[in-house]
Structure 1
Amino acid sequence: MSTSALRAPTSSRSRFKMILWISLGLTVLFVFITSELLLITDYPMYHAYRLQLIADRGFLIPHTIAGILALFIGPINFSSRIRERHTRLHRVLGCIYTISVFVGSYTGIALAAGRPGLPGTSMQAAAWMVCTTAAFLAARTRQFTIHRQWMARSYAVTFTFISSRILNLWPAYWRHLGDVLSAVGVIAFTLASLLIVDIGLDWRELTTCRNESSANRCYKN
């Protein structure tokens, strides 16, 4: 097999990863500008939300710090170059990520306690902790392929803290339906993120025909 043939898949994967991380980065920037930045200016639509955040600052501050750490550690630890050349750094960041997930999960549930959004937050936190724990156990047993798969699922849940805030742009979210949409929206974004990641992980198997024998062939419509 030629060297160019071997480089093609690697080049395609690198291009895909670059496009993916750029897209996620632009999403973070968009949500920050349209959702979080307006909190500083006491934007009228966010006034009640802003007051609630100030009242919840005891749990909100560690929750936010943990979420930001997990959000930014993810792309670093997904880097093949860092994973191969700086193994110790990869492990340290992985431990920080795991701790951040559990701190973020527990403080998130504490923030939602007694509120209509508790079911959605609890489901999101449970998925976050389960995926991260599975990734951690796989790393401990040196099953690195499985570890990377579960880390992809874990980070997908991490990113729902960004993607679910797109609902902030929907005026109905801040009206009488807001309490319902808060729970339903978080659950929907979490399940959709996990489904998309699983499809991505199995994409090659789903789209590749494997002829085990001459009689066993892919059917064509």
Structure 2
Amino acid sequence: MPSTQSQRNWLFSPAGLLLSVAVLSGGIAWWLIALPVLTFSNVKSHSTHFPQVFLHAVSGTVMLVIGAINLYLGASRRHFRFHKPLGLTYLLGGSIGAISAIVLALGNGHSKPSTGFAFQPTRADDLGWALATLGAAWLACSAMGYRAALNRRFPSHQAWMIRSYVLVWSFVLCRLIGQIPSFPQLGSGGAIAWLSWTIPLLVCEISLQWESGSRQKGSERRNET
């Protein structure tokens, strides 16, 4: 069990600072994108699919907030008794958020002329498929994290849930980039969506696996010979 001092200092560690940055940027994205939906101020912008967008905004809020809190509880071990129920809430809300994101990404909500919302994956563009694949990747990482927890493989569980939250933040990054009018589109625009989640996930994977590929200490090397 970590000491009280180490618990207090966790937020000032590299992992804690990264989580703080994720929470700050997630809050900005929530204010710009989710708040107008939750306050019904942009219903006309999503007239054919507002129920789906509203459900996604609510569940996305759960992913951002509960996910960040639970990563902190898991790493610092403070108030750890809340870790499991909050984790289940994150998985439930996140599953709804990811599935609704897939439906919206592969739907015709913004097609012209508007003919009513329908799920049409064969007509989705590159951007839609990039966001749908992001939702599928979140479901896969979260399912692996849940499986590891059920089997009491807690180091594996922690790693998979870190990947899961990195993907939540990747969606935030994609939406924030979309708010910058002068940002280069790189082709049709789908490349930005792909890069906004594949690069953070790659960096996360390197960070998680870095120690396992580091130079072995002399005693460990001798034990293998």
Secondary structure at 2:173 match in 1 = helix
- Alpha-carbon distance in 2 for matches of 1:29, 1:151: 20
Provide the TM-score with structure 2 as the length reference.
0.72
Percent identical among aligned pairs is 22
Structure 2: 5+ residue runs without aligned partners? 108-119
Q: What per-residue deviation string (whole Å, max 9, x for no partner) do you get for residues 125-181 of structure 1?
A: 11000000000000000000000000000001111121112322443679xx69931
Alignment partner, residue 26 of structure 2: 28
* Partner AA of 2:69 in structure 1: I
Residues paired across the two proteins, number: 196
Q: Tell me how far 1:194 sits from its aligned partner.
A: 1.2
Q: What per-residue deviation string (whole Å, max 9, x for no partner) do you get for residues 70-105 of structure 1?
A: 111112111247874544421111111111121112
Counting only pairs closer than 5 Å after superposition, residues 140-179 of structure 1 correspond to structure 2 as 140-171=150-181
Secondary structure at 1:79 match in 2 = helix
* Partner AA of 1:200 in structure 2: S
Structure 1: 5+ residue runs without aligned partners? 1-6, 41-48, 217-221
Counterpart among 73, 83, 87 of residue 90 in structure 1: 83
Once superposed, what is the RMSD of the aligned Cα atoms?
3.5
* Partner AA of 1:136 in structure 2: Y
Secondary structure at 2:152 match in 1 = coil
Counterpart among 89, 92, 95 of residue 99 in structure 1: 92
Counting only pairs closer than 5 Å after superposition, residues 1-221 of structure 1 correspond to structure 2 as 14-32=12-30, 35-36=32-33, 51-80=44-73, 84=77, 86-112=79-105, 113=107, 114=120, 115-116=124-125, 117-171=127-181, 180-181=188-189, 183-211=190-218, 212-213=221-222
Secondary structure at 1:142 match in 2 = coil
Distance 1:168 1:85, change over 3 A: closer
Given that 2:73 and 2:83 are in contact with CA atoms closer than 8 Å, whether structure 1 keeps it comes out as no
Q: Tell me how far 1:204 sits from its aligned partner.
A: 2.9
Tell me which protein shows more helix as a share of its residues: 1
Provide the TM-score with structure 1 as the length reference.
0.73
Q: What per-residue deviation string (whole Å, max 9, x for no partner) do you get for residues 49-79 of structure 1?
A: 9744344211011111111101111121112
